Amino acid sequence: MADFTAKDVQRLRQQTGAGMLDCKNALQETGDFEAAARLLREKGLAASAKRSDRENVQGAVAVAVTPEAGAIVQLRSETDFVAKSDDFTKLVDELAELVATKGEQAVAERQNDVDTLKVSLKENIEVGQIVRFDAGVGAVVDSYLHVQNGRGVNGVLVELEGGTKELAHDVAVHIAFARPEYLSRDQVPAEAVEEARKELEAISRNEGKPEAALPKIVEGRLNGWYKERVLVDQAYARDEKKSIGQLLGDARVTRFAQVTIG
């Protein structure tokens, strides 16, 4: 290897994630550093393609907020061990910043880095869910990220009108743990409500409740059903004596998003 030094081999290893011997052989075969990196990358991606059907339900979530927008990005992996690695968490953080700054399509700019992780970490790694909120006129966007074992696992974005970023953050924290499915009752599909109503009526009837009292009992239980699923009806996680609707006061949540791992 007359034309290449041990430092060249080490630099190629750091760039590609390939083994030292593979790097040395690639340099000898191609006689060019960039060509060697390309060769190793092609070989690594060919191997990673065989892993593409392996389940990747682990990974990490990152959030980023700028004055104009907020973003959540999910990067998926096969194991939590890989998801906790410095290179993995650094990349998902950078992807979230990129999406918040430039938009969802900007993730494509870092596809080479995702591919490099596939090769170096030898797992089925891919970008998962991406969410971006452009703050509307007069609205604020804030976020919350729940971190577990060194990686983000539960990210939330909230857009709020007529309130502060601090209030938006408090609501985001609540959403992370209460996991509402809908913002308000009018967003709940009619078929879901009807199905719940029938189920609650059957439960009440099986409990021997008086037939004449069933409509009122079912409506009461349906309110409880809403409170489990609808954000503004939920009891505030930090003070269950008040609902999220009461916490908001004159402010209004216009939308929210939650992305989790596992």
Domain tally for the chain? 3
Q: What is the pLDDT of residue 2?
A: 47
Comparing CA positions, the residue from 69, 120, 70, 67 lying closest to residue 91 is: 120
The values of phi and psi at residue 232, to 5°, are -70, -20
- C-alpha dist (Å) from residue 153 to 45, 117, 228: 27, 19, 22
Tell me the per-residue pLDDT of 67-85, one tens digit each, with 9 for 90 and over: 999 999 999 999 999 999 9
- What residues make up the domain containing 210? 189-229
For residue 93, being part of any structural domain is answered with: yes
Q: Give the largest Cα separation in the chain, rounded.
A: 94
- Distance separating alpha carbons of residues 97 and 112, to the nearest angstrom: 17
| Span 28-68, pLDDT tens digits | 888 888 888 777 777 665 455 555 567 788 999 999 999 99
Q: 95 and 203: one domain?
A: no
3-state SS assignment for residue 142: strand
Question: What is the C-alpha to C-alpha distance for residues 185 and 230, in angstroms, rounded to an integer?
Answer: 6
pTM of the entire predicted model: 0.79
Please tell me whether residues 126 and 151 are part of one structural domain: yes
Shared-domain flag, residues 140 and 255: yes
Query: Is 1 a domain residue?
Result: no
Q: What is the pLDDT of residue 11?
A: 83
On whether residue 159 sits in a domain, the answer given is: yes
In a domain, 37, yes or no: yes
Residues 110 and 147 in one domain: yes
Same domain as 122, residue 81: yes
